Homo-oligomer: A and B are copies of this chain.
Amino acid sequence: MRKELFKHEITILRDTFGRLLRRHAETNLLKLIGKTHPADLAVVFRHFNDDEQVQVFSLMQGVDHTLEFLVELDDTIIEKLLNVENPDRIVDLIQNASTNDQSYILGILEESQAKSVIDLLKKEEQEEIEEIMGYPEDSAGAMMATDVFTLYQETTCGEALRTLQDQQDAEMVFYLYITNEDNSLVGVASLRTLATTPANTMLKDLMVRRVHSVRPETDQEDVAQIVAQYNYLAVPVVDGHDQLLGIVTVDDVVDVIREEATEDFLQMAGAGKDREILLKSSWENAKVRLPWLFASWIGGVVAASVIGSYEHMLESIIALAAFIPVIIGMGGNIGTQSSTIIVRGMATGRIEVGNELRILIKELRVGLILGVLYGVMLGLFANLRFMDTDPMLGLVVGLSITFSMLIAVAVGSFTPLILRKLDIDPAVATGPFVTTSIDILGVLLYFVIAGLLLNI
């Protein structure tokens, strides 16, 4: 019910914008922009055509929350809007932003445009940004906020609260990070503890000393794993000497989890990993999907050659051809089931080093149960449907289904496990590789079994 309300509000907003845009009612548009939450504006903005997007964005020249709006947009749209923009305006937009928002925006721009913008920034900002942009993409360093509020451990609660009042810039303060005389991170306290402890207590006497921290090079997936596992609101990022470099906050982790899931989805389907594929042109879209289909094309060509070399067998028993689709289809489907269960199990931490063999054996047992069941069913069907051909056809078809499903389960579970051992993202190669190999192996097996059992 609430769902409809929520969707409904967005639709009304979109229609209102549409009407005002058609009338070029700039004053009213500006009022509406000012009243709309930046996140809602970003959702509605996707529905505008290119001209409308440019029109709205140029109206937002002096609007306060333009940057909050911008960072909620898809990269493709940000790129389109800002690459044609005057570098001065971009500097205006980002100069009061946090360093991670700044480097995020700059990372999307074309190199020359980014350079012009950086040149216009203040010296110390330039250095900070270059440092952040130096961290690998998808690392904790690239996503951390650097404006973190720290306190010395020998401060009292009362002083700490007073200091906090002057810190308007610091990112989402809910944890207070506490340092020693070397400026190393030694503890953490929640704002709540601070507010509910007698004012003269020293921070070092109330802080939690066991702080989970990450390094700037830590992959964002691992950061997400830590935040999810321990229910944190933020994780500190420290260097080799425990100096606090920044924090990664849970709102960014939520985005990471969704983005990584989307990438894994697309990769498992052999459709690249560009989350914004829907915003790309048909040509770009086709270009991303082309190589993965090539795997399947190769598989098909090899399967065709295998079948071609058994022409004599097909000549005697034409009915053999009828069961090619079901043999590779059932294999492909159970193989996809296995690989999805395994890939997802690894992503959610259910499959750890040490229990792989047990899981592999269990998958094989599942493959055997289902393979025998569907083998029997298809064997009976084959004998009934093609009663006038070789009476062994049912046995051939049934055995082929059983073995093809067993092989599919083995390939589907083994491939992602091996890929992870080789430090290759299991989501990448699993999908296309599994279906392609099952196309080939299934067909080959079928004709080998036919050759053994039929009188040809």
- Chain B CB within 10 Å, residue with most, of A2, A196, A320, A352: A2
Report yes or no: B301 in contact with A381, Cβ–Cβ below 8 A.
Answer: yes
Asked whether A293 lies within 8 Å of B333 as measured between CB atoms, the reply is yes
Q: How long is the Cα–Cα vector from A340 to B165 in the complex, in angstroms?
A: 49
Q: How far is the CA of A219 from the CA of B6 in the complex (A)?
A: 12
Inter-subunit contact B215/A192 (CB<8 Å): no
Contacting chain B: which of A95-103, A127-135, A278-286? A278-286
Contact with B along A148-186 (1 / 0, CB 8 A): 000000000000010011000000011000000000000
Q: Number of copies of this chain in the oligomer? A: 2
Say yes or no: is A374 at the interface (Cβ < 8 Å to chain B).
Answer: yes
* A311 smallest CB distance to B (angstroms): 5
Question: Which chain B residues border A277 with CB–CB below 8 Å?
Answer: 341
Q: Does A285 contact B366, Cβ atoms closer than 8 Å?
A: yes
Evaluate contact between A353 and B174: CB separation under 8 angstroms.
no
Whether B330 lies near A293 (C-beta < 8 A) is: yes
Could you tell me if A311 and B318 are in contact, using CB atoms closer than 8 angstroms? yes
Is A67's CB within 8 Å of the partner chain B?
Answer: no
- Kindly state the separation between the CA atoms of A393 and B192 in the bound complex, as whole angstroms: 76
Q: Once bound together, how far apart are the Cα atoms of A318 and B278, in whole Å?
A: 42
Contact A333 B292 (CB under 8 A): yes
Contact check, A351 vs B278: say whether CB atoms are below 8 A apart.
Answer: yes
> A353 contacts which chain B residues (CB < 8 A)?
7, 11
Contact with B along A215-254 (1 / 0, CB 8 A): 1011100100111111111000000000000000011011
B329 in contact with A214 (CB, 8 Å)? no
A330 contacts B296, C-beta separation under 8 Å: yes
In the complex the two chains form, what is the Cα distance from A270 to B337 in whole Å? 7
Instruction: Enumerate A45-62 residues with CB–CB distance to B below 8 Å.
Output: 46-47
A3 at interface (Cβ–Cβ under 8 A)?
Answer: yes
B253 x A254 contact (CB < 8 A): yes
Say yes or no for A37: interface residue by CB 8 A criterion.
yes
Count class of interface residues, chain A: 35 or more
Partner of A269, one of B293, B308, B340: B340
Residues of B within 8 A of A10 (CB): 352
Interface pick from A21-29, A84-92, A118-126, A260-268:
A260-268
Binary B-proximity of A333-369 (CB < 8 A = 1, otherwise 0): 1101101110111001111111100010010011001
Residue contact B293 to A348, C-beta cutoff 8 Å: no
- The DSSP consensus for interface residues of chain A is helix
* Shortest distance between the CB of A6 and any CB in chain B (Å): 6
* A339: B residues at CB distance < 8 A: 269
With a CB–CB cut-off of 8 A, which chain B residues contact A378?
297, 300-301
User: CA separation between A300 and B334, bound complex, in Å?
Assistant: 14
Q: CA–CA, A286 to B290, complex, Å?
A: 34
**What is the minimal beta-carbon distance from A435 to any residue of chain B, in angstroms?**
7
The answer on a CB contact under 8 Å between B325 and A2 is no
Is A187's CB within 8 Å of the partner chain B? no
Bound-state Cα–Cα, A39 to B374, Å? 42
A251–B265 CB distance below 8 A:
no
Task: Determine whether the beta carbon of B3 is less than 8 Å from that of A218.
Answer: yes
**A340 close to B268 (CB less than 8 A):** yes
Cα A213 to Cα B319 with chains together (Å): 63
The yes or no answer to A63 lying at the interface (CB within 8 A) is: no
- Option from B230, B233, B255 in Cβ contact (under 8 Å) with A233: B233
CA distance A166 to B2 in the complex (A): 34
Find out whether the CB atom of A297 lies under 8 angstroms from the CB atom of B330.
yes
Q: How near does chain B come to A222, taking the closest CB pair, in angstroms?
A: 5
Question: 12 extra interchain contacts, Cβ-Cβ under 8 A, other than A72-B229, A297-B330?
Answer: A2-B214, A47-B354, A47-B355, A269-B339, A282-B369, A289-B366, A296-B333, A311-B318, A325-B325, A332-B332, A333-B435, A336-B431
**Docked-complex contact A268 and B265, CB < 8 angstroms:** yes
Chain B residues with Cβ under 8 A from A311's Cβ? 318-319
* A145 interface contact, C-beta 8 A: no
Chain B residues with CB below 8 A from A258, complex form: 228, 257, 261, 348
- Complexed CA–CA distance, A173 and B193 (Å): 10
A251-B222 CB under 8 A given contacts A11-B353, A164-B195, A443-B325? no
A226 to B164, CA, bound (A): 29
B282, B289, B325: which contacts A324 (Cβ < 8 A)?
B325
- Say if the beta carbon of A81 comes within 8 Å of chain B: no
